[in-house]
Structure formats: C-alpha cells, structure tokens
Homo-oligomer: A and B are copies of this chain.
Amino acid sequence: MIRIALDAMGGDNAPGEIVKGGVQAARDLNLEMILVGKSPLIEEELSKHDVDGLAISIVPASEVVDFEEQPVQAVRQKPDASIVVATRLVKDGKADAVVTAGHTGAAMVASIFTLGCIEGVERPAAGTTYLGIRKPTFFLDGGLNTDCKPEYLAQFAVMGTAYAERIMGIENPAVALISNGAEDNKGNQASIEAFKLLKRSSLNFIGNVEGMDIPGGRADVIVADGFVGNVAAKLSEGLMEALLDIVEEKVGARMSAGERERVLMPAMAELREMTDYQSVGGGLVLGLNGVAASAHGRSTAKAMVSIIELAKWAVENGLVSAIREGCQSLGWGES
C-alpha cells in the first residue's frame, strides 16, 4: 500500500480541509495516510470523520512554516516544522511521497535539502497539466525557477518527457520550447541555447512553439522558464474566467429567463468545471530523489484528494526512476 506523508498544517484551510482530504484519499484511493503536524489539532479533526478501518497514522511535528517566512531561513530554523518532518519521512523510506498545500518555497527548499536532486538535474521544476482545451499538455516550469540557464531548460524537457510517458501514458511524447516565434532561430538567449542542446538530444524535440500553441495542444510537453511559465499559467486562468463571464452576459442577454435556466446555466457550469484551475489541484515537483507534490494554498479537501492521487500515480508509475533514466540516457547524469 502506497504511503503518503501529508503536511496537515500547510495551507489556508489547514488543518480542517487537509485532514478531511487525507481521510477521503485514504478511503477512496486505498492509501496509507501519514498525517504530519500538531497531534491534538489533527486528532480533533480526525474525530469529525469516520476513519474506521482506514490506514491513517499521525507523526507529530511541533512547528509550522508561515506563508510570509523566508523559505531557506524557515526550513533551517524550524527542523520540526510539519513540511520538514513530512519530507524526511520520504527520505527515511517511511513514506513514498510528500504532499503539502503549505508554503511552496519552503516545500521546495525542504525537498532539495532533504531529498536532493536527481543526478544530472540542477533545478527541480513545477509541472502542471495545462487545462487541455484541445488535449492535455504538460507544462513546466510553473514558477520555481525565474532565471534559467539553457541546461535547466533542457533538463526540464527530459523531466517533462518522463512525466508524459509514465503519468500521461503518451508514447514518444513530443516536447517543445516556448518561444516568440516558431522558427528555429527565435527565442531569448537561454532558449536559443537550450534549442541547440535539445536538437542534439535523443528526445522527440519538435522545436519552438508559440503562445497560441499552449492551448492548441501542438506538443505533449512544453518547456518554459518559471517566469514565463507562471505568467502563462496565471494569464490562462484569468482570461478564461473573464471570458466566460462575458460569454454568459452576451449569450444570456439574448435569451428568455427560461432559456437561461435550461440552456445557459448548465452549459456555463460545465464550462467552468472544465476550465477550473483549482480542479487541476497543483502539481508535482520534478527532479527530486522522491515524489513531492504541492497544492495551491487555498486548496479544499477535494483539491487535496486530487493532488494526493497525482502523487500516488507518480509513485506507482515510477516517475523518479523514469526521470533518472532519462537523464542518464542523455549523458546528463554523469557529470
């Protein structure tokens, strides 16, 4: 049974929604759930649910990293913080994956310090499945690395390929670099150099793609630095919300009250559900010697279940060893 170390104290809705999501995941996904944090608080939350027959345990941690804390400092000064303790369970072989909705930076630092990066990976990256308007595209880095050396981008391509193969089940996934034009010579300094590295690699590198190709599904994996990736992901989220509001207004204005209720409301509900960024539930941090997943700070129990499921898939499908093999086969793991 796969064991998930869940940071019960991390997130805007912790511990209530986190524990609730953990209980639900233990039941629905047949997992062993290790809740990490302040025992009395966790026990109080657990008492609200029927946990009979579920594999749920508590590992105490006396501290919590707050959202405003500086990540490196916080992780160094709070060795008994829930995110640090939860990550250590993976390192010590007592859990298969760590999941948190807490401070992303602190989670990242705890992961790097505790688990370390896979040989050949210089920087872990946040992956996210771009709401497949046409078909799902895996998009990274979602925001962990703002300034990227060409090598980082090339490593992201390796990690994204491993993800697409193992988690999304895509054979020989097509990987592309985001750029300001589709031509080979387009790009900024880092992406132009990354293009050359990828061209020489054994990946199925299809070259540069443009902004419209992200929703267009032209590649299975699209690589960007974390600055561009973060702007693109948040722009998409905001634009879809804004556009659906306008659609509702413009279409609704031409309808009778009855038509709005019968046609528009269910259609809009379906569209909002389809494009709900929250339902994606965060993403995996790729490139670590272990499975780590970060959910949005505002995650509810439902979002937690979905990210716990993602972490479970990553464990079941050997994502870490797939990335390791990918790095080795490209000769990047030997330096």
Q: Could you list which residues of chain A lie within 8 angstroms of chain B, going by C-beta atoms?
A: 133-134, 143, 146-147, 178-181, 187-189, 191, 210-216, 224-228, 230-244, 246-247, 250-251, 253-255, 259, 262-264, 266-267, 270-271, 274-275
Contacts and interface: CB of A to CB of B under 8 A. Distances in A.
Contact of A237 (B191, B212, B251): B212
Given A143-B180, A215-B242, A231-B231, 18 more contacts: A133-B243, A146-B189, A179-B227, A180-B227, A191-B227, A210-B234, A211-B231, A212-B239, A213-B238, A215-B235, A215-B239, A228-B228, A232-B232, A243-B243, A247-B267, A251-B263, A251-B267, A254-B267
A282 to B, nearest CB: 16
Nearest to A213: B238
Given A133-B239, A236-B239, A243-B133, A180 B211 contact: no
B243 A240 contact: yes
B262 A235 contact: no
Contact of A254 (B238, B244, B250, B263): B263
Specify the main secondary structure of chain A where it touches its partner: helix
B231 A180 contact: yes
A144 to B, nearest CB: 9
A147 B188 contact: yes
Contacts of A234: 210-212
A213 to B, nearest CB: 7
Contact of A267 (B134, B238, B250, B274): B250
B230 A228 contact: no
Contacts of A264: 251
A250 B248 CA distance: 13
Nearest to A263: B254
A225 B189 CA distance: 13
Contacts of A133: 239, 242-243, 246
Contact of A180 (B146, B254, B271, B274): B146
Contacts of A181: 143, 230
Nearest to A241: B212
Contacts of A180: 143, 146, 226-227, 230-231
A307 to B, nearest CB: 20
Contacts of A210: 230-231, 234
B247 A233 contact: no
Contacts of A227: 179-180, 187-188, 191, 228
Contact of A247 (B179, B254, B271): B271
